[in-house]
Amino acid sequence: MKSALITGAASGIGRACAERMAREGYGVVIADVNLPAAQDLAGQLTGEGLSAIAIHMDVSSEEDTSSTLHSSHSTYYIMAYEYAVDGETYTGRTGRMSSPRLIGTVITVKYDPEMPEENTAILSPNTRDLLVLLILGTAIAVVGFFLSGGVELFRNLLRKKHTEEPKESVPKTDIGFDSTAIAKIPAKQWVPRLAAWLLAFVALVLFVKFFLTSGAADLDKFRKAAAAAGYTAVDSTEDVRQRWSVGSMLIRSVSVHEDSLRLDFCRLDSADGCRRIYAAATLPITGEVTESNTAARQIYAVDSPTNFAAKIRSGRMMLYVYTTQEDKADVLAFLEAAGWWSE
């Protein structure tokens, strides 16, 4: 597939050129200083099955233009598929693929019998993830081995034993446990080893939490928590793509829409894309603002006399909340049970 970078493509002649070239089979890069408008056009084109991405670019800035032109872009494909369970048709989407599939290709999917709409085309563990975990685990083990004195122990085991004349043994008196023995160990011996083991443990925990934990598992957890709380969560991917104008940046979303309650739980294609959408998202009410920014989660909430709204981001996941003050306590209790809210 040929690619075309079009500047000023969010409006006017640039927009017309981008639309025409996309429909002629080009993969278009919509470059504009107005990134939200560029993303809106990219979402419209990808919604038609065309190839388009949006980037920020200010042609009046030599540095911005140079960095854009010399950056590397890769082409990937996302396949939409349908499957039937007990006569009911459901849809799903794959993750990024390096090569396209022909329309009508038969693939195998897995689904949850209790929630048939929950599905995946991933039938085996991700080899890349397993390889990275193996390499990281090996590196941590080697570092810990060296810093914990393992090398010296290994040398002692390999060292030849010296034969000496037996000496007369001297009776030893058991004086019991010396409580000051540990305190006499030099700090330079045990502090680096303790720090190394703590660092290795923290690195392993962070790796498992932020690298191996998938967004799909979070979506499933949200659906089940919603069902347990008495809410009905349904797939809302296409609806949210249109309302948010995010196109293929949104991989999947599930929503709860009941009377005055709206919850949109979304998985984006990248953490960077999720940060940009979170920053651009506005809440429909004004009032008292509560904001929290931690390494794991960002929360921006607004309380008005009658309503409550919030946007919450964690990694590639984003949650939009809108409800009444009357139902706020119940909704926040549900979100806390689902792991998405804490006072």
pLDDT tens readout for residues 204-225: 766 655 554 444 447 778 888 8
Q: 315 in a domain, yes or no?
A: yes
State the total domains in the chain: 4
Say yes or no to pLDDT of 323 above 90. yes
Its domain, for residue 130, covers 124-154+182-212
Q: Is 189 helix (H, G, I), strand (E, B) or coil?
A: helix
Say yes or no: 223 and 331 in one domain.
Answer: yes
Q: 193 in a domain, yes or no?
A: yes
Q: Residue 37: exposed, middle, or buried by beta-carbon count in 10 A (0-12, 13-18, 19+)? A: middle
Say yes or no: 224 and 321 in one domain.
Answer: yes
The most confident of the ranges 53-57, 112-116, 305-309 is 305-309
Say yes or no: 64 and 147 in one domain.
Answer: no
pLDDT tens readout for residues 292-320: 887 778 899 999 999 999 999 988 899 99
Say yes or no: 299 and 224 in one domain.
Answer: yes
pLDDT, residue 240, reads 87
Strands across the sheet containing 261-268: 234-235, 250-258, 261-268, 317-324, 307-314, 298-303, 288-293
Domain boundary among 173, 190, 212: 212
Q: Is the pTM of this model over 0.95?
A: no
Mean pLDDT, residues 173-198 taken together: 60
